[in-house]
Structure 1
Amino acid sequence: MKVAVDETITSNSGGWESHGWFYISVRIAMFLWVALLNLITISSTWARVIDVMDSESGSRLFGFIGAGATLGQLFGSLFATGMAWVGPYLLLVSALLLEFAAQSSVGINKDVSQHPEELSPLRKADNDHISESDGKSEMALQASSPRTSTSKVKPQIWVILEGLQLILSSTYLLQVALFLWLSALVSSFFYFQKVTVIASTVTSPVGRRKLFAQINSFIAVFILGGQLTLTGHILTIAGVTAAICSAPLVGFVNLIALSVWPSWIAVAISETLRKVVIYVVTRPGRELLFTVVTQDEKYKAKVCIDVIVQRLGDATAAGMYKLLSGSLNGSASTTSLYALPVCFIWLATAFLLGRRQQQLAKLRSSQRSETSSR
């Protein structure tokens, strides 16, 4: 999505001053809408998956679930490679695919609503634990779970405010938010660096579209193979801490690589390494962080973290990159070095967060065992 927007802006940026405010407003509004819709959809889908899994089952199965998204990326990249000459009209194809995804989500919701009583064993164990702790399991489930909720639907802005309140009241969720903010900051910084390098080496807009699509297609093959064969083993053996710590290490190496060798080949290699590590290891590990929180936090706080915090990270990175590029006279190779200290903070946050998640997972497991033995 970022690539498509960037290519369009790069190819037509010289003519923006000839268009009116309505044209510019529509382009900006469309980008914001698609970006937020993409984040909310992915976050909500993962929240539903996490709601029926614990840390152990998620370690084994999250790779297979993520493979579905990778197949979509592979199809989209191959299609864009062959149809790059169509240009902006590719958005019509994207709109049709979004409608197909929306209709698929209706089927998921219908299946859930028709069988609200068929809770998974994990959900039943959680319900029993809630009942033992405060005697209000039904009220808690109705307030937090979309499966059993019969109360009046609250406005979305109120749900967002509740999510923010949950984040601020939990040190664990604050750590998760900090981890994702740093992740978005470094990833966006790398993205701006990547686009700058490609723009200086490939002058044709169609050539840039084809190059990005070919790189994404190549990467998707490795990601798909890794998700189907390696993700479960890595998460089960290495654990959550190693999984989420791998991304800061790769980010550190990539920023150095682009500063030393600013070329499209370095971009291709760095992008391959970054995305394979993120989608095969780090992203499933990041979703495991939410298997140890309450249902309210899964459905409300998680969406706020995935959407608001990530957008704040992107905005921060954009401001920093523009400021640094201006002060350094547009030197792309030097600009990337200023993000290296952020990688160290990101790594320390990931290590502490992973250890905390393992402690909470063991605590929940022991609580379930006690509940089952009663």
Structure 2
Amino acid sequence: MLKKFVNVKDEEVGSVLLSFVYFFTLMCGYAILKPLRDEMATAGGVKNVAWVFTATFVVMLVVVPVFSALVARWPRQRVIPLVYRFFLLNLLGFFVVMKLGGVPREQLARVFFVWVSVYNLFVVSIFWSFMADLFESEQGRRLFGFIAGGGTVGLLVGPFLVKHLAEPLGATNLMLITAVLLEVSARCVRRLSHRAVVVRPREAAAEAPVGGGVFDGLRLLFSSPLLLGLGLQILLYASTSTFLYNQQAHIVASVASGSDARTAAFANIDFWVQALTLVLQTLVAGRLMARFGLGLALAVAPLVTAIGSFWLAMVPSMLVLIAFKSLRGATHYSLERPAREVLFTSVDREAKYKSKGFIDTVVYRGSDSVSSWLYTGLDKLGMSTSALSLATIPLAGLWLAVSLWLARLARKPEPSAPALASPVDAARRPAA
């Protein structure tokens, strides 16, 4: 049955389905937390998006080195479940505090908002690091689109559960569902570590600690053209996302009056993004990357962003916004994101778990923070909505150029960096 939708081999089916369930549980859990976070933010007065992004960025600067230290000393099948269960304990702590009360609503809302923002980026980054470590590049081209579909299904199921269970059970009690899903995610890691079928030889070193120092991931980032390009790509994606997020807020506020109408408008946009994404992930992404390579998959999202920004500048309407956001979100999550994760299959394990974590979290949220303050400044200077949309086009153009360059670079073997290679990877190299 699965072969009708994705180009999967018999020996890969179990691992692919487990990976699908793993990503589903992560994103479904996040989708349950997101409405609770947004409601608390509204009630608690969390309105300054730039401040939130900056606070998240600062927290990431602390969290990423800690994770690097853990993977340097312990194997992945131990570290990843440990991290998920740490977040699970955090979540239970928030649950108890919310039930008992006593903490000012505004303070709790701010802390919870930042925590959810850190949680979402971090657990997803770890997921894709794990996938890049389990599967070869050729497998990733065929399978990552479908595996990413697990997350999309989770993002559709989560809001459905909230809609039907929030009132009878209480919104705060839904946090316990996320806690259970996190435990399932941790167990999926264990199962995949023991039974994953990969093309690369299964060696004991593959389950050993990554090794190296805490900050070697950052040094590797600046010594590798591929990693630098991936960092620049995520920076440009995040910048255009922040500009578009603010544009969306302006347009929705201008056409939708009242909290209920605005909520419905945002929900409509999110629904079409996820629905179109799921179709592309399950039916198109794997076959497209396997047949045409990574270049096309990486190029579609920035191209849609440039064209859509121009369209939105000319016609700043709700219909255009929904069409633009749906196409951009769908092409990013179904094509560009899986293709970018395929690129990480070609780097060594230290870069997968350390440099990738830095790029996906610190660089991403740092770009959000800077872009938010820049947008706020331009808006206060009186720049029109159309002008701000046009300002996104050069960023999208640079994003497109970097993406195409990365696709060409991926065809060449990544040069090794012996001075920075982990002891594990060095041990795996054959003697000269």
Same fold (TM over 0.5): yes
Indicate the SS of the match to 2:412: helix
> RMSD in angstroms over aligned alpha carbons?
3.2
Match of 1:350 in 2: 403
Give unmatched runs, 5+ long, in structure 2. 1-30, 49-102, 417-428
Out of 106, 112, 116, which is 2:186 matched to?
Answer: 106
Of residues 29, 54, 60, the one that matches 2:136 is 54
Amino acid at match of 1:227: Q
Aligned pairs (5 A) from 1:79-94: 79=161, 90=171, 92-93=173-174
- Structure 1, 100-109 or 181-190: larger mean CA deviation: 100-109
Q: Is the 8 A contact 2:251 2:318 kept in 1?
A: yes
Q: Which residue of 1 aligns with 2:115?
A: 33
- State the match for 1:133 in structure 2: none
Segment drifting more, 352-361 vs 293-302 = 352-361
What is the CA-CA distance between 1:59 and the residue it aligns to? 0.9
Q: How far is 1:90 from its partner?
A: 4.1
3-state DSSP of counterpart to 1:360 = coil
Provide, for residues 239-273 of structure 1, a one-character-per-residue CA deviation record: whole Å limited to 9, x for no partner.
11111111111111121122222222222111111
Look up the match of 1:149. Answer: 209
Which of the residues 251, 254, 259 maps onto 1:200? 254
Structure 1 residues 323, 61: CA separation in 2 closer, same or farther (over 3 Å shift)? same
Q: 1:313 to 1:148 in 2, by over 3 A?
A: same
Higher mean alpha-carbon deviation, 43-52 vs 2-11, is at 2-11
CA contact (8 A) 1:241 1:350 kept: yes
Cα separation, partners in 2 of 1:22 and 1:163, compared to 1, 3 Å: farther
Aligned length: 330
Shift of 1:319: 1.2
Question: Structure 2: how far apart are the matches of 1:319 and 1:9?
Answer: 19
Secondary structure (helix, strand or coil) at the match of 2:413 reads helix
Give the Cα separation in 1 of the matches to 2:336 and 2:146.
Answer: 14
In structure 2, how many angstroms separate the alpha carbons of the residues matched to 1:106 and 1:169?
A: 33
Q: Which amino acid aligns with 2:107?
A: S
Shift of 1:123: 3.7
- Name the aligned partner's letter for residue 171 of structure 1: P
Separation in 2, partners of 1:91, 1:176: 38
- The yes-or-no answer on 1:307 pairing with 2:365 is no
Q: Which amino acid aligns with 2:136?
A: D
**What's 2:392 paired with?**
339
| Secondary structure class of the residue paired with 2:218 | helix
- Equivalent residue, structure 2, for 1:226: 280
User: Displacement of 1:222 after TM fit?
Assistant: 2.0
Contact 1:328–1:335 at 8 Å: present in 2 too? Answer: no
Identical counterparts, % of pairs: 29
TM-score, normalised to structure 1, is 0.78
What is the identity, as a one-letter code, of the residue corresponding to 2:176?
L
8 Å Cα contact 1:193-1:332 kept in structure 2: yes
Match of 1:213 in 2: 267
Give the letter aligned to residue 99 of structure 1.
A
Question: How many angstroms apart in 1 are the aligned matches of 2:116 and 2:149?
Answer: 22
Q: In the alignment, is the contact (CA less than 8 A) between 2:41 and 2:113 conserved in 1?
A: no
Moved more, 213-222 or 1-10: 1-10
Mapped to 2, the partners of 1:257 and 1:3 lie a distance apart of 30
Q: CA deviation at 1:80?
A: 5.4
Could you tell me whether the CA contact under 8 Å between 1:78 and 1:213 is conserved in 2? no
Higher helix share: 1
CA distance in 2, matches of 1:274, 1:121: 32
Assess, with a 3 A threshold, how the Cα gap between structure 1 residues 91 and 209 changes in structure 2: closer, same or farther. farther
* CA distance in 1 between partners of 2:267 and 2:172 (Å): 15
Q: Distance in 2 between matches of 1:111 and 1:14?
A: 40
1:14 shift after superposition: 10
Aligned partners of 1:77 and 1:213 also within 8 Å:
no
Cα 1:30/1:45, change in 2 over 3 Å: same
How far residue 308 of structure 1 moved from its aligned partner, in angstroms, is: 0.6
In the alignment, the residues of structure 2 paired with residue 9 and residue 90 of structure 1 have an alpha-carbon distance, to the nearest angstrom, of 14
Structure 1 residue aligned with 2:218: 164
CA-to-partner distance for each residue in 1:105-161, whole Å, 9 max, x for gaps? 231243366x4xx67453427x6xxxxxxxxxx7xx3xxx5x33398xx9xxx74x3
Unaligned runs of 5+ in 1: 128-137, 364-370
Aligned amino acid, residue 178 of structure 1: L
Give the drift of 1:10.
6.0
**CA contact 2:299–2:400 (8 Å) conserved in 1:** yes
C-alpha contact (below 8 Å) 2:301/2:336 kept by paired residues: yes
| CA 91–292 in structure 1, closer or farther in 2 if over 3 Å, else same | farther
